[in-house]
């Protein structure tokens, strides 16, 4: 694994002064350098791409609650995100200023100098970043944004339907650049994603194309395009080729996964959603019932020791199931506001580089040394590629064996957990160190997958739901595509406080025997929905107020991204 240290160019450090604009002209400011080496810019572009999307630093902080994998006491609870939300602004500003603007510098400088491998990498990043912006917001600045030589202060918003084809063309250009002569400057360790290996970037570009076409399948016939990509098979084909951003374990300068911050926060904010937990635990009566997922201790760390009765804080918990504690989405319960700093279950070793749940708990001993925080942010993994193919076959876009693809995708999802832990997180460096058992090869994993496939076989009308729910479980910690998948397919089924079958009488019942403090009497919790589900997110209010070409603010519950029918 490459040693991971980010270099922060002065240009990017000073860019925050203009971060509410979709343009930033580095060459018009005399206080900023005009010829920073592209080898110094690339690692920070890659780092900021992850920061714009991750939990705690970017849009996954809002989208993980929206897709019901974490819960918080903040705005996403009840879908109550506002146009002034800090994480909406963080994604927008980081993407346009720190990623796309600096990406254009790499493309411009690299093209002029004949350093085409840098150019190809920058174009793949540009296409991915803009696709994520379209998928979250819909229409966004594109054709008039990030013009370095002739900056446009008030760039218009282009339609997502017009942007997507240009991103696919951009990816073709990137592949041509990556296949060409590299030039005199060749990326190596400064490319923290793939170490400058052109063949891996080409596979990432093709797999991104497959993803974009799949996302369009309901509004466009993409059969020819996806068949060509699958037949050529120059896609991500193994775990080690996954498109991801590695993080480090250093607290100063901090290069850890942003989502690890809850381990040393003075007020912890991220709870694992009971809906997500119960599906993994086998409690949900409608899917994977009585089929406990062996990934639970890799996904979730419980601060309460297994078998412990009293919580680590003096306050009553809202949701408890033995060592697991959490809060409900949309909760208005009396115990929702009580501090659970040393009691609440935390995101575990796989999603954020925290601790593996060995049942020993930690109580007040959890801190920044309890894990390494070195879990990568996963942009597109090999498992994702297999789930895409399973979906395409299931929906008749391409021919093939959807069952075999799903089974391969689930197997790869388990392998991916082992790979992330051994290659990146390295739990032996935590304090105290941990030895984490491998998932692959365990009988419990075989049993789990066998039961999932039996459920798939027995329910032809629910096969797409099973594919998408497994993909949702697999991608925990990287939220944008799961948000996109739900809006495209309607799956997985999400918790709805207004649904009388999920919350009869406006209340939802935790496991009745789950709280050993109140055996057989854990109380039902009142829940309510504050706003409808957002089909896209608000545009940042700061952008609308400073960009005279911006449209009026949208209504997220009715504003569809173009790939939604």
**pLDDT tens for each residue of 39-67:** 999 999 999 999 999 999 999 999 999 99
Rounded CA separation 383/449 (Å):
15
In this model, does residue 334 exceed pLDDT 90? Answer: yes
pLDDT in tens, 276-314: 999 999 999 999 999 999 999 999 999 999 999 999 998
pLDDT in tens, 74-109: 999 999 999 999 999 999 999 999 999 999 999 999
Please spell the DSSP secondary structure of 231-271, one letter per residue: HHT-S--SGGG-EEE-----BTTB-S-GGGGGGT-SS---E
pLDDT band at 364 (very low <50, low <70, confident <90, very high): confident
> Which residue, 241, 180, 172, 177, is CA-closest to 213?
172
Rounded CA separation 440/427 (Å):
18
8 A C-beta contact, residue 377 and residue 433: no
Rounded CA separation 434/355 (Å):
8
Give the model's pLDDT for residue 155.
Answer: 97
8 A C-beta contact, residue 213 and residue 229: yes
pLDDT band at 11 (very low <50, low <70, confident <90, very high): very low
Give the model's pLDDT for residue 365.
Answer: 87
8 A C-beta contact, residue 310 and residue 518: no
pLDDT band at 36 (very low <50, low <70, confident <90, very high): confident
Averaged pLDDT, 374-402: 98
Averaged pLDDT, 493-509: 98
Averaged pLDDT, 464-480: 98
Averaged pLDDT, 476-486: 98
| Coil/strand/helix, residue 514 | coil
8 A C-beta contact, residue 140 and residue 163: yes
**Mean pLDDT over the full length of the chain:** 93
Residue 300 phi/psi, 5-degree rounding, is -130, 135
| Coil/strand/helix, residue 324 | strand
In this model, does residue 21 exceed pLDDT 60? Answer: no
pLDDT band at 28 (very low <50, low <70, confident <90, very high): very low
pLDDT band at 149 (very low <50, low <70, confident <90, very high): confident
> What percentage of the chain carries pLDDT values higher than 90?
91
The tokens describing 503, both together, are 């919350």
The tokens describing 135, both together, are 């998928």
Rounded CA separation 143/163 (Å):
8
Give the model's pLDDT for residue 401.
Answer: 98
- How far does the chain reach from its first CA to its final CA, in angstroms? 43
In this model, does residue 192 exceed pLDDT 70? Answer: yes
pLDDT band at 8 (very low <50, low <70, confident <90, very high): very low
Distances from the Cα of 11 to the Cα of 51, 244, 517, angstroms: 17, 25, 55
Rounded CA separation 288/269 (Å):
28
């Amino acid at each position: 694994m490459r040693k991971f240290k980010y270099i922060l160019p002065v240009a990017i450090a000073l860019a925050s002064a203009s971060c509410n604009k979709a343009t930033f002209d580095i060459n018009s400011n005399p206080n900023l350098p005009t010829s920073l080496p592209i080898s110094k810019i690339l690692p920070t572009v890659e780092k900021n791409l992850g920061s714009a999307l991750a939990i705690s630093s970017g849009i996954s902080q809002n989208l993980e609650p929206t897709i019901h994998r974490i819960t918080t006491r903040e705005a996403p609870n009840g879908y109550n995100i506002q146009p002034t939300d800090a994480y909406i602004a963080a994604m927008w500003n980081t993407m346009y200023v720190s990623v796309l603007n600096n990406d254009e510098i790499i493309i411009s400088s690299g093209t002029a100098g004949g350093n085409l491998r840098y150019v190809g990498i920058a174009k793949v990043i540009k296409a991915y970043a803009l696709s994520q912006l379209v998928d979250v917001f819909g229409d966004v600045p594109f054709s008039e944004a990030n013009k370095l030589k002739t900056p446009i202060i008030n760039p218009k918003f282009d339609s997502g339907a017009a942007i997507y084809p240009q991103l696919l063309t951009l990816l073709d250009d990137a592949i041509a650049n990556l296949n060409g002569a590299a030039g005199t400057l060749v990326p190596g360790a400064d490319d923290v994603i793939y170490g400058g290996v052109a063949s891996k970037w080409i596979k990432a570009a093709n797999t991104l194309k497959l993803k974009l076409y799949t996302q369009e399948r309901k509004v466009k016939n993409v059969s020819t395009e996806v068949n060509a990509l699958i037949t050529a098979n120059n896609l991500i084909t193994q775990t080690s080729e996954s498109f991801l951003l590695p993080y480090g374990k250093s607290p100063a300068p901090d290069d850890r996964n942003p989502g690890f911050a809850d381990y040393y926060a003075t007020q912890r904010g991220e709870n694992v959603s009971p809906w997500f937990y119960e599906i993994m635990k086998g409690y949900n009566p409608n899917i994977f019932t009585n089929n406990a997922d062996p990934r639970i201790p890799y996904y979730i760390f419980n601060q309460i020791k297994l078998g412990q009765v009293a919580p680590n804080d003096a306050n009553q918990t809202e949701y408890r199931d033995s060592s697991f504690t959490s809060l409900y989405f949309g909760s208005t319960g009396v115990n929702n506001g009580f501090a659970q700093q040393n009691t609440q279950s935390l995101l575990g070793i796989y999603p954020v580089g925290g601790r593996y749940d060995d049942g020993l708990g930690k109580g007040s001993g959890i801190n920044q040394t309890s894990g390494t925080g070195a879990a990568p942010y996963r942009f597109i993994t090999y498992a994702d590629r297999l789930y895409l193919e399973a979906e395409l076959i299931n929906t008749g876009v391409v021919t093939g064996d959807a069952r075999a693809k799903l089974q391969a995708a689930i197997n790869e999802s388990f392998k991916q957990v082992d790979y992330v832990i051994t290659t990146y997180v390295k739990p032996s460096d935590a304090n105290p160190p941990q030895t984490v058992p491998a998932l692959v090869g365990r009988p419990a994993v075989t049993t789990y997958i066998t039961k999932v496939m039996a459920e798939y076989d027995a329910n032809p009308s629910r096969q797409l739901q099973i594919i998408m729910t497994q993909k949702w479980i697999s991608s925990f910690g990287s939220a944008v595509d799961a948000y996109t998948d739900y809006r495209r397919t309607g799956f997985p089924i999400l918790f709805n406080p207004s649904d009388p079958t999920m919350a009869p009488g406006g209340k939802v019942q935790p496991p009745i025997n789950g709280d050993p403090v109140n055996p057989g009497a854990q109380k039902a919790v009142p829940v309510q929905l504050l706003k409808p589900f957002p089909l896209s997110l608000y545009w940042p209010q700061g952008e609308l107020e400073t960009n005279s070409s911006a449209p009026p603010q949208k209504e997220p519950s009715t504003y569809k991204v173009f790939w939604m029918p």
